[in-house]
Structure 1
């Protein structure tokens, strides 16, 4: 449980970094300064939603799309990560994504961040 909460914080920091430094111009987080935690609460909320979607829906999509993943030598995982990011944007009104390309690049960045977090938190 602690590992999942730390990963949510890492995802929230990743979303903050992506939007603050304008790494992906099509990815936008609409912060809520009047929320209980303030502006950073919006990033934590989006990180929590992405973590839950990634933990529940992600494995199901990966198993169902296994033939496509094998056929494309793993490149179809980029589409799955984009779909998970788009699903997160669909669930919350605080995250907007302009297009499929932005979702693919954002999904790739968040997959790398999640992998690094897994490597650091498993020790």
Structure 2
């Protein structure tokens, strides 16, 4: 359970940093101006992103495996962008959450989000100990 919470916090932090770096990706909180609402919004979007990436993302990667081989993995950029846009659509149904301005912003946002999540995980690995390595 603690590993799940750590991953959730890492994804929320990476998402926050992504919204600061990529102009076409932003998060609309359910109560603008309220700091707690903004933090909870990032945590909820990170949770939705984790669920979508865990279930739908893995299913797409399995089905599209021949395309991954054919394109030498470049199709992963498209898949990750579409997953990010799916998260934006799902959270948009709730009236708050992630907003992606277009497909290419989704590609850039997905790349930046993946790199930031990876970097944060590397930085926190010595602090978290062996639980982060699994």
State the TM-score, normalizing by the size of structure 2. 0.79
Partner of 2:106: 103
Partner of 1:122: 133
- The answer to whether the 8 Å contact 2:14/2:117 transfers is no
> CA separation in 1, counterparts of 2:3 and 2:78?
26
Question: Following the alignment from structure 1 to structure 2, what is the Cα–Cα distance between the partners of residues 14 and 89?
Answer: 16
Partner SS for 1:25: coil
Matched residues in 2 for 1:30 and 1:16: separation? 11
Aligned length: 121
Instruction: After TM superposition, give the deviation of residue 114 of structure 1 in Å.
Output: 4.0
After TM superposition, give the deviation of residue 43 of structure 1 in Å.
0.5
CA RMSD across the alignment: 2.2
Rg larger for: 2
| TM-score normalised according to structure 1 size | 0.86
Q: Which has the higher helix share?
A: 2
Of 8, 22, 25 in structure 1, the residue corresponding to residue 23 of structure 2 is 25
Q: Which shifted more, 23-32 or 61-70?
A: 23-32
